[in-house]
């Protein structure tokens, strides 16, 4: 019941979202970083999140990723494979980075959602109209979020976020229609 009430309290804000910005490690991955003996970094991304980007784009949503780490694995996944134009890596100040992203996309804070899991995400979350956190995010981040997903990082957090936004916009049935 609490989650249903919380949804209705933020539904109007969700209905305005046009841009979703997400952290990577701990949100789009489970937060684990595997480094091979040759120094290569490996990350596990969930296919549900990749599909959510495709589905969201079909419905007119825009996406960006914003991470403090600077890794080739992030650029390969999001620039090369998923064709995102805004893949910001090495962002020490995520609040300032969010300002630039909003300008680039010509959106307001109220039209932006941010997903984060760690303390460094708090400034970016403050720039968003709606802030999300995975269920296993740091406690303080979950408390700062408007919505905590049912799933932990790396298990489809972006997919859950996209579907919640499309439901609030009354467009989830339209989004799924082409797949039925």
Along the 180 residues of the chain, how does pLDDT read in single tens digits? 556 777 888 999 999 999 999 999 999 999 999 988 998 888 999 999 999 999 999 999 999 999 999 989 999 999 999 999 999 999 999 999 999 999 999 999 999 999 999 999 999 999 999 999 999 999 999 999 999 999 999 999 999 999 999 999 999 999 999 888
Q: Select from 158, 114, 118, 123 the least CA-distant residue to 140.
A: 118
For residue 23, give every residue at least 6 positions away whose Cβ sits within 8 Å of its Cβ, in sequence order, or none: 65, 66, 67, 94, 115, 116, 117, 118, 121, 124
Rounded to 5°, angle at Cα 154 from 41 and 77: 50
Buried-state track 117-135, b at ≥16 Cβ within 10 A, e below 16? bbebbbbbbebbbbbbbbe
110 contacts 83 by C-beta, under 8 angstroms: no
Number of H helices, E strands in the chain: 8, 8
Q: How many CA atoms lie within 13 A of 166 on its CB side?
A: 23
Q: Measured between alpha carbons, how far is 101 from 117 in angstroms, rounded to an integer? A: 19
Structure tokens at 34: 């595997």
pLDDT of 120 reads 97
The 10 Å Cβ neighbour count of residue 43 is 20
73 contacts 41 by C-beta, under 8 angstroms: yes
What domains can you pick out in the chain, each with its CATH number? 2-177 (3.40.50.1000)
């Amino acid at each position: 019941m609490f989650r249903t009430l919380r949804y209705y309290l933020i539904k109007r804000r969700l209905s305005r979202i046009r841009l979703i910005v997400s952290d990577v490690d701990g949100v789009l991955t489970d937060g684990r970083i595997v480094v091979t003996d040759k120094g290569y970094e490996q990350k596990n991304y969930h296919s549900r999140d990749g599909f959510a980007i495709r589905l969201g784009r079909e419905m007119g949503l825009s996406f960006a990723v914003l991470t403090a780490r600077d890794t080739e694995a992030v650029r390969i996944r999001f620039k090369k494979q998923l064709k995102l134009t805004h893949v910001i890596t090495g962002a020490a100040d995520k609040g300032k980075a969010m300002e630039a992203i909003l300008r680039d996309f010509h959106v307001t804070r109220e039209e932006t959602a941010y997903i984060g899991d760690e303390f460094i995400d708090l400034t970016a979350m403050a720039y968003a109209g709606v802030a999300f956190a995975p269920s296993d995010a740091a406690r303080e981040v979950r408390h700062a979020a408007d919505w905590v997903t049912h799933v932990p990082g790396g298990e489809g957090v972006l997919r859950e976020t996209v579907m919640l936004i499309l439901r609030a916009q009354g467009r989830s049935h339209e989004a799924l229609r082409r797949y039925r």
